[in-house]
């Protein structure tokens, strides 16, 4: 089978990285009032540790005298009750997320980011929903993980934009190199919107290398591809095991005429929405010919999971557990929940998300590889939700049609320096990130600046992979090392290394 570098030659004691990529959560949306939760009705009661550090969250003034307005009336942030199982989706495009900031005043969230859909045709959505947030009585598990491990309150989307760009930045730190250059988002109206501008991806379109990509009706011939390298290519060059594991990534059916048909599995969320588990626009490796598995082939055998094989490192989620329970967990794993448990509004919600996260993390903590593993919980984008922190702009862009960061007087995002790729305005909105590991600092909040490509950089540094190159943001990304304590002496039987939670309540199992 060959020798794997997953158990040796790492910069840190971490031999296994598991990145769980969830959806649509700004930092304030989940942690704005951390660690203080409002006790109401039958909500789960959350009581913080006495020594919990503070976060840059929603102060009394921001909660009670916010400068965001709706029809000239103050629109304060408000707590979304856990009984509200389904909420509307909020607009969060590249230009919309920039427009929200209003040049740093952070007071324009309602007008450009109005909810777009509640999953039904009646569209009964509260325009002020963008100001909503959850607290520890709903996202209880996430708050408990933060209490016992490490998180950051200064982590950002690499660039402004929605799901597909966010996922691709996690694996390559690079949105330039998208083709075809004239790709547009189709619309049922006569309007079409640019998805690729100046060679840079700024919107969601399906990958060229996937049978599940939409290719009928208004989506005919709209799939796209990415050029250049991703983290999978770098891992392959060093023969290090890895994989992306998506729930619902099941084999296609080959038709008599030689074409292939995608097969789908559907689940219903707690809010009652029934959706396919798998959507190709949130599987970033399918955009690259070098790392795609277009027909969703299964590995030729279980002992090939993580290795170069017919599946090309793209798997159904079940393969992750087969590898882990047999003691062959890949060095680097990316996990994607089914759409009903990703946390994305309409198709999912925080309680659906909690079920997935807790069940997954509980099982990982009981794998034989747990004592040298780090789990990273991250998000693809802010979902357009209100966050009061203006991101630091480390990448300027001067696209008059799509850059809208600097308010009404100057809609652009500064001016891209000569020779640098345009339409990569960033950093984008602030996102949650948590690290769960025997080597995590305990009840720790990191305030140093990081972004989605910091995950990429940690993997590169830990296995000495080098950089993506070609202006990838990995070269300037902040380090995640501040959330670790690599001097900890981890005992193989130490119960204190684990935090087993109840997936229904998020509370600690006694």
The whole-number pLDDT of residue 409 equals: 53
pLDDT of 41 over the 50 cut: yes
**CA distances for 300 relative to 297, 305, 410, angstroms:** 8, 9, 56
- What's the whole-number mean pLDDT along residues 467-474? 98
Class of domain 5-497: alpha beta
What mean pLDDT, rounded, does the chain reach?
Answer: 92
Kindly report which listed range (53-62, 402-411, 474-483) carries the lowest average pLDDT score.
402-411
The whole-number pLDDT of residue 5 equals: 44
Please state whether the predicted TM-score (pTM) of the whole model is above 0.85. Answer: yes
Extents of the domains making up the chain: 5-497
* Band of pLDDT at residue 218, cut at 50, 70 and 90: confident
Determine how many CB atoms are found less than 10 A away from the CB of residue 475.
14
Kindly report which listed range (45-54, 121-130, 195-204, 278-287) carries the lowest average pLDDT score.
121-130
pLDDT of 3 over the 50 cut: no
pLDDT of 183 over the 60 cut: yes
- What's the whole-number mean pLDDT along residues 223-245? 98
Share of the chain above pLDDT 90, in %: 81
pLDDT tens digits, 144-174? 999 999 999 999 999 999 999 999 999 999 9
Is residue 17 a contact partner of residue 374, using CB atoms and an 8 Å limit?
yes
The whole-number pLDDT of residue 6 equals: 44
Chain centre distance of CA 405: 22
Q: Please tell me the distance from the alpha carbon of residue 16 to that of residue 331, in angstroms, as a whole number.
A: 4
Share of the chain above pLDDT 70, in %: 93
DSSP 250-314: ---EE-TTS-EE----EEE-TTS-EEES--GGG-GGGGSGGG--TT-PPPSSGGGTTSSSTTTTE
pLDDT tens digits, 375-425? 999 999 999 999 999 999 999 999 999 999 986 556 799 998 899 999 999
* Band of pLDDT at residue 497, cut at 50, 70 and 90: confident
- What's the whole-number mean pLDDT along residues 475-497? 83
């Amino acid at each position: 089978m060959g020798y794997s570098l997953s158990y040796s030659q790492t910069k840190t004691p971490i031999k296994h990285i598991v990145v769980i990529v969830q959806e649509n959560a700004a930092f304030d949306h989940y942690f704005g009032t951390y660690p203080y939760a409002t006790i109401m009705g039958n909500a789960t009661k959350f009581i913080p540790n006495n020594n919990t550090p503070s976060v840059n969250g929603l102060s009394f003034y921001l909660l009670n005298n916010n400068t965001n307005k709706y029809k000239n009336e103050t629109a304060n942030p408000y707590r979304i009750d856990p009984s509200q199982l389904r909420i509307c989706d909020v607009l969060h495009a590249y230009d919309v997320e920039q427009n929200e900031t209003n040049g740093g005043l952070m007071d324009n969230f309602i007008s450009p980011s109005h909810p777009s859909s509640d999953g039904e045709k009646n569209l009964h959505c509260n325009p002020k929903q963008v100001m909503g947030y959850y607290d520890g009585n709903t996202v209880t598990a996430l708050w408990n993980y933060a209490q016992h491990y490490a998180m950051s309150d200064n982590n950002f989307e690499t660039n402004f934009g929605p799901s597909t760009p966010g996922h691709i930045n996690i694996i390559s730190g690079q949105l330039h190199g998208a083709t075809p250059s004239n790709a547009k988002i189709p619309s049922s109206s006569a309007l079409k919107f640019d998805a690729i501008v100046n060679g840079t991806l700024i919107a969601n379109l399906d990958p060229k290398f996937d049978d599940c990509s939409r290719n009928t009706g208004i989506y005919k011939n709209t799939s796209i591809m990415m050029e250049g390298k991703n983290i999978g290519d770098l891992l392959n060059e060093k023969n290090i095991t890895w994989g992306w594991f998506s729930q619902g990534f099941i084999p296609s059916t080959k038709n008599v005429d030689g074409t292939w048909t995608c097969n789908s599995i559907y689940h219903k969320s707690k809010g009652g929405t029934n959706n396919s588990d798998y959507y190709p626009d949130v599987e970033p490796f399918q955009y690259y010919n070098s790392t795609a598995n277009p027909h969703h082939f299964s590995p030729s055998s279980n002992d090939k999971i993580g290795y170069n094989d017919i599946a090309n490192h793209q798997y159904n989620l079940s393969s992750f557990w087969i590898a882990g329970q047999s003691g062959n967990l890949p060095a680097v794993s990316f996990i994607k929940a089914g759409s009903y448990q990703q946390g994305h509004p309409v198709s999912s919600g925080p309680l659906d998300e909690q079920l997935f996260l807790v069940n997954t993390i509980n099982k990982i903590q009981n794998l034989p590889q747990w004592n040298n593993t780090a789990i990273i919980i991250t998000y693809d984008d802010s979902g357009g939700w209100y966050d009061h922190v203006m991101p630091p702009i480390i990448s300027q862009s001067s696209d008059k049609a799509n850059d809208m960061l600097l308010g009404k007087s100057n809609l652009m995002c500064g001016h891209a320096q000569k020779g640098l790729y345009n339409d990569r305005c960033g950093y984008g909105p602030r996102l949650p990130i948590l690290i769960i590991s025997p080597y995590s600092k305990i009840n720790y909040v990191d305030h140093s600046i990081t972004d989605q490509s910091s995950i990429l950089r940690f993997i590169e540094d830990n296995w000495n992979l080098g950089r993506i190159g070609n202006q990838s943001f990995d070269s300037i990304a902040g380090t995640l090392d501040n959330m670790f304590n690599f001097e900890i002496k981890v005992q193989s039987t130490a119960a204190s290394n684990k935090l087993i939670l109840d997936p229904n309540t998020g509370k600690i199992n006694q």
